[in-house]
Structure 1
Amino acid sequence: MLTDYPAAVDAARAGAVGRPRFTPPRETLLLAAVALGYGLAQIGSWRLDLGWDETIYVSQVDPDVPTAFFSAPRARGVTLLAAPVASVTSDVTALRIWFTLLSAVALFCVFRLWFRVIAPAAAVVAGLLFACLWVAVYYGPQVMPNLWVAFSAVAAVAGLLRVTAGSERHDLDRTGLLALVLGAATMTLMRPSDAAWLSLPLVLGVLVVRSWRTWTAAAGLFGGLALGALPWVVEAYVRFGGMLERLHQASEIQGGTGFNPWLLRRTVQTLDGPLLCRPCAPDPVSPLHVWWVFVLPVAVLVGVFVAVRHGRTGAALLPTLAAASIALPYLFLLEYTAPRFLLPSYALAAVPSGLAAHHLLVRAGRWRPVAIGVVAALLVVHVASQGAVLRNRVDAAARNGNGYTAVAERLHALGIDGDCVVSGYRAAPIAFYARCRSRMVGGHDGSIDAAGLVALSRRQPTVVIVRGSRTPPPYAQSWAEHPLPRVGHTRLRAFVAPRS
């Protein structure tokens, strides 16, 4: 059942049942075990090279790598997370280990915050449900922002509920206030557009719900959002000519927004398929791998019903509304999709789902053994299917995205080193590994035109990378052609500019 905001529970756990005060409660140990398993499950992904987006984020703080072009839609939050390691070493494995540790600790901390909002066992189940998703494990060690938006959203919602519950008792929950401020600031720092959608239900709650209309809740929420948005706003005026211009450029790069009735089908398709669908072939999906996403709405509704019956409506309704709010643009309004986009929605939906599973087990009565068996069987099937998808995704990423080190070594042998420039196919990751600057002619990361690149090639070692048998751009067709090692299964050719 749902736990009341428990002052007495902590006292009981502190030693009233004969345990020493420093002994962690059982649920805390269980959640720690979930976080440990979540971290261990990420080890298989450490062998992956950095992808396109990752190299752009890391290059901003790696002193040994020229800074890559930072386009309008990007935000610098995940770069700050990478800075403690990337500023010291360029070793990719060290960066993977660092993010694995961070993500495991974050999962423990954000779901631990819910122990004072819902039953601790329900919070443990919620953390377990999220930790079992292949997409949550896959992006744990990666330098990408979506998972961190998910963690910070879970923290912000828990923080708001704890602050408002404390206000009703005229008792300030300092941990809850800190979670609210840091959660709101972090999700805005990571992805301001996601934070705007996620914060809508929270802002409405603070403005509309009478018991939530407190200075503490309002200051914590709006202060955190403003604090996280400040770097993005400052950069908008320094580099892009203002907020409206940056938003306009970001919308152009992302393809704009508009109702897209086919996006929902493509989203389901990516649940066991490509990491990016822009667009993707209509490959069939395995029912064994996607069944959970059809059970999820039912579990969420049951969790909300349980919360309402126990007089704790906000504990399930607020994360549900936040999950639905952030899911809306990614299910209906964009022109493309990727499984990582819905990580915040999955993390928030795990809370009412955990409530539903916990209530089923607690209230099963004499049918409890049957309920436990059913839940355990479903969990085993879920973990096995998600593990299979994870292995497939990691193997596919290794096949298609590893090999940049060999390409960089070949470029160095061709004289592309020092103050060098790389353009063309996969320019950002190749330039990162070759310690060159990536300069794209057009596209999402376009930072130079053809005439500018040709002029640059007269002063610096410059190469254009071409995929397979494709024709190089006109300005590079007379440049010296050299074969390169493959990246995955992709054959590459280098067109090296003549030296002046």
Structure 2
Amino acid sequence: MHVRPEPQAATAPGRAAEAERADRPVRRGPGPARRVAGHPAAPLGVVALLFGALQLVMGLHRLPWGWDEIVYLSQVSALPDADFSAPRARGITWLAAPVAWLTAEPVPVRLWMTALATAGLFLCYLPWLRVLRAPGRSLIVAGAALLLAGLWVVRFYFAAVMPNLYVAYGAVAATGFLLLAARTPRPRGACAGLALSLAAVAAIRPGDALWLAAALGIAWLAVRPWRRPAIAVAVVAGSAAGAAPWVIEAYTRFGGLLARIEGASEIQGRLRPTVGFWYEFKALHGPLLCRPCTVDLKYPILSVWWLAIPFAVAGALWLARRTADLGPHALATGAAAALAAQYLFLVGYAAPRFLIPAYALLALPVAYLLTWTARRSIAWRAAVVAALALFLVVHHLVLVVRANGIAQLRAGELATGRAINALGVRPPCRVGGPGASLPLAYAAGCRYATRRPTPPLRGDDVAYLTRGRGRPTADYAGWRPHRVPVPGRADWVIWLPPR
């Protein structure tokens, strides 16, 4: 009689194997933390959060208001309404408005702007993670954000109510969305991003938007695969929508579009061929506004990075010449050149912030070059890390010097404003003279009388200001001087009318 073996005996080895597997740790998919750390956008997010936190550590959110900030904020806050001249646009005012409507105090508004700048640094480079094809594109994009945010001028304006940084964000995003729209079978989302980015730039600085749109339009015509009608519509519609409030205001306040353009040109010294690149080079590490630009070049040895940018960009384009990334880097370079051209060759004065949008775009090919170099060998990687560290340290030191000087100046303006009030000049009042400024007048709660030729100040609640040994004109003969010492700077002298 045939006896079948017991099932237990036959499966004993299988059970032993199952028991052995049960003792091993169970392998699961990557957890949430690991998935986040491994996301292509993670390095970019780290850079954005790092520089947002550094702003708080530096304490720049505690700086008193600057001249242009007062003009922008006075449109929506409790600050006295300042003259909103023809060149200005209200986009940056709208960005600050959610907090500025509630308070005109610097700290809360600057904290809000720091949050916006941190988010903007992340979001503007985000489309480029899908645009670039090179190995290590996450590091390239994060490196570009690092190069931009490491600049002293970017960090100085990170918490400021000023337009240039947000123009830079819009320009970087617009170029990225255009490239995505050219590659995507259904470009509706990318075209919407392109239109919104250009609208933001035009709402903040219409003049810069014109140069940017022109560069993108030329690229659209020059590269056959980019000639999709939806892209052209997005460029034109986005730019027009963003500039519409400025155009409407031209007719309601300035007597028409041509009259506003003429007024803006006059205030800006009229665009004409000039050596603006030399002015920008001299003002590379300050002052914040070089007009007229007669200062001496500061820290020449520290300016090498600026002179190296064209060579680094050319090297990046040469390396990318046979790759899919040549078009993106070439577009970024062309858009940067368009945005910088007016300030380098047509504007007769300088400010370091004018070139922030160009820096933001050029950071992409430069980061590509650095990433490619770092992949060659350990020695080259160490050299790149050392160069980046030196770059960041140099710009941090310049930031410290420049921020301390500005903080001292604005503290002096606040002290002088309080001194004006202590001398009996109370709102409503006016402050004028060659030593006066808009921040100083607002520190006293007074209107600012422009430095342009005006009739002499009259009335009891007025003050005429000079600096150092300056004296008022003959129209102010008999006015009484009151000196306000300012450590490390020329004293302010408050002149009051005779009693």
Task: Assess same fold via TM > 0.5.
Answer: yes
- 1:243, CA displacement in angstroms? 1.6
What is the identity, as a one-letter code, of the residue corresponding to 2:320?
A: A
- 2:10 — aligned with what? none
Q: In the alignment, does 2:381 pair up with 1:372?
A: yes
- 1:50 — aligned with what? 65
Q: In the alignment, does 2:146 pair up with 1:128?
A: yes
- 2:491 — aligned with what? 491
- 2:366 — aligned with what? 353
What is the identity, as a one-letter code, of the residue corresponding to 2:406?
A: A
Distance 1:283 1:42 in 2: 29
Q: 1:320-370 CA distances to partner (integer Å, 9 max, x unpaired)?
A: 0011111112112221111111111100001111222222334x2xxx212
- 1:296, CA displacement in angstroms? 1.6
- 1:284, CA displacement in angstroms? 4.2
- 1:187 — aligned with what? 201
What is the identity, as a one-letter code, of the residue corresponding to 1:126?
A: A
Q: 1:494 to 1:327 in 2, by over 3 A?
A: same
Partner SS for 2:41 = helix
Work out which of the residue numbers 71, 78, 83 in structure 1 matches 2:85.
71
- 1:34, CA displacement in angstroms? 0.8
- 2:38 — aligned with what? 25
Distance 1:120 1:276 in 2: 36
User: Looking at both structures, which has the greater relative contact order when contacts are Cα pairs under 8 Å and sequence separation is at least 6?
Assistant: 1
Residue ranges of structure 2 left out of the alignment (5+ in a row): 1-27
- 1:114, CA displacement in angstroms? 0.9
- 1:477 — aligned with what? 477
Q: 1:384-433 CA distances to partner (integer Å, 9 max, x unpaired)?
A: 11111111111121233323332232222333333222223333112222
- 1:466, CA displacement in angstroms? 2.4
RMSD between superposed Cα atoms in Å:
2.4
- 1:418 — aligned with what? 427
What is the identity, as a one-letter code, of the residue corresponding to 2:48?
A: A
When Rg is computed on C-alpha atoms for both structures, the one with the higher figure is 2
Distance 2:172 2:408 in 1: 34
Q: 1:222 to 1:55 in 2, by over 3 A?
A: same
Partner SS for 2:491 = strand
Q: 1:418 to 1:277 in 2, by over 3 A?
A: closer
What is the identity, as a one-letter code, of the residue corresponding to 1:122?
A: I
Q: 1:426 to 1:24 in 2, by over 3 A?
A: farther
- 1:391 — aligned with what? 400
Distance 2:476 2:75 in 1: 28
Q: 1:209 to 1:473 in 2, by over 3 A?
A: same
Distance 1:238 1:435 in 2: 28
Distance 1:76 1:473 in 2: 37
Question: Do the aligned partners of 1:288 and 1:385 also contact (CA within 8 Å) in 2?
Answer: no
Work out which of the residue numbers 187, 192, 198 in structure 2 matches 1:172.
187
Distance 2:76 2:368 in 1: 41
Q: 1:30 to 1:311 in 2, by over 3 A?
A: closer
- 2:176 — aligned with what? 158
The number of equivalent residue pairs is 464
What is the identity, as a one-letter code, of the residue corresponding to 2:494?
A: A
Work out which of the residue numbers 165, 170, 193 in structure 2 matches 1:147.
165
Identity within the alignment, %: 38
Q: 1:417-466 CA distances to partner (integer Å, 9 max, x unpaired)?
A: 332222233331122222322232527xxxxx417x54xx37xx332322
Q: 1:19 to 1:218 in 2, by over 3 A?
A: farther
Question: Do the aligned partners of 2:374 and 2:382 also contact (CA within 8 Å) in 1?
Answer: no
Question: Do the aligned partners of 1:410 and 1:485 also contact (CA within 8 Å) in 2?
Answer: no
- 1:116, CA displacement in angstroms? 0.6
- 1:208, CA displacement in angstroms? 4.0
Distance 2:128 2:432 in 1: 48
Question: Do the aligned partners of 1:52 and 1:426 also contact (CA within 8 Å) in 2?
Answer: no
Q: 1:288 to 1:241 in 2, by over 3 A?
A: same
- 1:22, CA displacement in angstroms? 6.5
What is the identity, as a one-letter code, of the residue corresponding to 2:446?
A: C
Matches within 5 A, 1:109-124: 109-118=123-132, 119-124=137-142
- 1:487, CA displacement in angstroms? 8.4
Partner SS for 2:126 = helix
- 2:411 — aligned with what? 402
Report the TM-score when normalising by structure 1: 0.86
- 1:19, CA displacement in angstroms? 5.2
Q: 1:69-116 CA distances to partner (integer Å, 9 max, x unpaired)?
A: 111122212111221222211211222222222111110111122111
Matches within 5 A, 1:193-272: 193-261=207-275, 263-272=276-285
Partner SS for 1:309 = coil
